[in-house]
Structure 1
Amino acid sequence: MRSTTKRSIVAAAALGLAGSMLLVPQAATAATTDEGTTDIQLLSINDFHGRLEQTSGATGVAGLSTIVEQYTAENPNTMLISAGDNIGASTFTSFISQDTPTMQGLVAAGLQVSAVGNHEFDKGYDDLVGRVTDTYAAAGADAADLTLGANVYKKGTTEPALPGSTIKEIGGVKVGFIGTVTPETATKVSPTGIEDIEFGDQVEAANREAETLKGEGAQAIVLLTHSGFASSEGDDVTCDQLMGENTDFSNLVTNATSDIDVIISAHTHQTYNCVIDGRTVIQQGQYGEEFGDIDLSVDNATGAVTASAEIMPTYDDEGASLYSEDPALAPIVDAAVATAEEEGTQVVGQVSGDILRGGDPSGDDRGVESTAGNTIADIYLWATTDYAKYGGEPADLAVMNAGGIRADILYGEDGTVTYKAAADMQPFANTITTTELTGAAIKQLLEEQWQPGAERPKLQLGVSDGFSYEYVDNADGTGTIMSMTLNGEPIDESATYTVTTNSFVSAGGDGFTAFNSAAAVDAGLVDLESTVDYFAEHDVVDPAPLGRAVVYAEPAETPTPTPTPTPTTEPTSEPTSEPTSEPTTEPTTPSATTAPTDAPSDAPIVPAASTTPTPGADGGSLIATGGSPAIAIAFGAAALIAAGAIIAMRARSRRA
């Protein structure tokens, strides 16, 4: 239940009134109401990703501390909790110091319980249970409570690899907290870093821990899960529609035990506040831009729990913070900023325009082609072809995963690019690899961009210059690659090509298992270092164009020309002239010294072939031999001469 005093304090924060703390004496009584309930206030964040400093649109750890102070002043039964990804994919200020200042700042701001997210595993499981846990402990936290992962097990066993749940007593009420993480974590981090663990079913883990917590006396239970809906609840999307996504998270929401009173989600960086089957299900954006304000009311007599929630912004419409920075955290932030400034001010190059991630706003959609993805793919290809530090065989093409790109490079005033800007874009310090893939494996790789049922159903790969493909989006959420070309030539599915990417993707990260068909060769190059050197080698870097991934269009049918028929002249029914019954000329008898005794026959000699005239194309008549009339006459004359000679010889014979 929300008091009028609380709303007054939030409004005062928006106006930056330092005098809000004067309300503490009155607000402190809000924890118990006349109805005999204990009111608990949970302030939740998710996907903070090392946003250490207060910037336009994000509150930073010092602003977060102020929020906690102000809400605690209203209700002492207040606690700051997180659904994971507190670190990793961080801004340069935190990244350059391995996120140590962010962990210190969150503890100082009051963070008491957190699930692990996939990015807590960026440097591997050993790093999480070693350096990360030690840093939280050194900052004064109960480190086990900040690394909850009930569905993380030792590989091949059901032995927990992380704490699964914890109980906190708030206002005399025992509140149980469970932490789970998306099983997709196995594809989101380098496999070599998690080879000794595995990620199990969230429903089984959450329900198991809820039963344990109930047995330990928990009166209310909150699930912190680093998974979520892929879409936000907005004007055009309802909570019922979100449940229709049919993902691992929707399954969790449906099948989590009713003993769990609230589900606080993460991972997809969305904003929604739903009541599903009577239970609050919420996600509060990203980076501390917003936070969840969740009220739990526990009936002191019956133990019944009711919950309600709001999502609260930390900045106004102009991007100004609604909360001043807590000066107690200034030493942590200032020291980190000084280190980052020293390391990050070096100018590494120039760009001719903005290099942007996908979506509107930029970075909002990992399922579309982007100039940033294609540009980094170009850098990768350069690094394994023309880079002086590369000693391997030249690559043919390169790909870049959208999830590895965490910031844009903007032209700004003069196109200058600093080391910090390059590091913000690629904060993971992956190495560059090459893999020999067949054309068929490349096709499989491209079709693995579609991942129906996943929390992000498509993960678009950036591809390098010279490579392009056509695709079809299928109705079932899959995709089909219709054609692929490299430097204008079709990809041969039986041929082998050298493909460059980063160590995360080449190990099968983000679900791109096509790389598992062949061993990856580590080029010994760090992506960030290669990017910095690429800028040094190019006077100006142009944003890579879009259009390397093309929606397939059925070719238009080209009509076959109908040939113009050649007119055929119909022959006349009768020849134009009747053949004469007699030869046109009298046969000439051959001359002989002695006249023959027998006169030659008056009948013409008829050739063996029929002399029936054949109609010609011009309406005239042709002899059966197909020759001209002159040839026919000549042939006839020759026959007559031969006959005359025979007669003459017979005459001589008789006379002899």
Structure 2
Amino acid sequence: MKFRNIVWTGVAAAGLLIAGGQSYKVLGEEPAFFQYQGGHMNVSQIGQYDSGSGEGGTEILAYDEKLKRAFVTNGAESAIDVLSFERLDSGEFSMMKRLDRIHLAEFDIRDVDDITSVAAHPERDLVALSVVSDPKTDPGYVVLLTKDGKFVGKIEVGALPDMVTFTPDGKKLLAANEGEPADDYSVDPEGSISVVDLDTLSAKTLTFEGVPLDENVRVGSKGTVLQQLEPEYITVSEDSKKAFVTLQENNAIATVDLESDRIIDVKGLGVKDHSLPGNELDGKENGETKLERLPLLALYMPDAIDTFSTGGKTYIVTPNEGDARDYDAYSEEAEIGEIADKIKLNAEHYEGYNQKKLDRLTDKGLLDALADTKITLENGLNEDGDYEALYTYGGRSFSIFDAETMELVYDSGNEFEKITAKALPEYFNTTNDEITYDGRSSSKGPEPETVVTGDINGTTYAFIALERTSGIMAYDLSRPEKPKFVTFITSRDFSEDVEGDVSPEGLQFIPGDASPTGKPLLAATHEVSGTVAVYEFDSPKGKKN
């Protein structure tokens, strides 16, 4: 492996590495930590928590600034792990210990299965959990606890609450109720959004009945339109007046008016054309690293999103993961090779090709080379039963949308694959439970999972977690129309399939004035390894807001 502007410390390294003209002593007790580029932003890992539960042991984390305490969902144990951040020291690595483990079974709530999300109230002594019923198609619950783990109450919400969050002003609690179908589609509940009044502890569950959808919202699947709409994740504007909710399978975002508690509309995000320069990808699992223009249209399908404001405007940041409907009774997913005899590509769907060029590529065996590449059967079909365009899952990028219009302001194009190809050439497009070079090229690549924004010395940054590669990208958002890549970090140990911190699922930014070290921190929950990593940032002194 070639090292260029790289720092790598921990058990994956040996002896002394020289990077960027500086020496870095390897401490045997530290986990692997790797930083690619970074310039003036130096990052170090100062903490790690190991749940001991393995896969599913750490999924989503909520941090309480006053108590310097974190609440972490442990899906493997159907529990919440409580961690203290108070003993973290600047520039020094330490293993973090658990203060408590609170099991869902302790609350004596019948017919419940799992905790999917957690949120800590910014002021009050409240922690909220989203709890899925058994079966998942029944209405779920939001469970409220005190911050020392005592039961406060439960509130019924919609089916399969997948995410819960408090508004910044602390007045309301919101739940995204995904409403997934049963595997056999015997029951398919409608998706919804619940708004909880914290004074009365009562929920108003908002449905999509009568809500306007634009033409780009994906609703051509199995079931009614209301059954197909599946809220995934919520972010709230800084003034607590609006919420923005991803509907991942629908490739769309809903806007909620929190002053009137109504869903305003749902807007589709459109597609990313991989035939255009700048949008190249490695779409072939063939043992090579090759980014190229291909006749693929990517559905953005973001999962966990965030917002930031600048210049009087609010923007939504999306990690473009992708997600197919794939159940026992119905699946939209296929490989190109399975439908090759039904593909007749039409250049009108692609900006980067004319028909002559597209036909030439097909004649030279392009579809054979893409035989393993994953696509959806729900888009691209013409009246004759042929696929004129190929639609794939996720943009392998992050995007910025104008929150008011939902128009695309920026997309990172091919940068994630370009950067990881240089930073981790031996592990390019590996997956999260097995070291397999080029193993994810035919399906979502590095797979951006979640994003969080945070302010460091007056500059707003986006931190985007790559689920499969197991790393985090950092971008400067000073110019929303042209963000700048800053650094890439990972604390996965690539010497084993699952070692170190593997598969980041959730991110929590902790500003310097709320941090136990006095410097900004980023906490990342890693689902496959069941660990939490805490990173500390030393960054440039910028202009204060």
TM-score, length-scaled by structure 1: 0.23
TM-score, structure 2 normalization: 0.27
Structure with larger RCO (C-alpha < 8 A, sep 6+): 2
Q: Which has the higher helix share?
A: 1
Larger Rg: 1
Task: Compare the two structures and name the one with the higher strand fraction.
Answer: 2
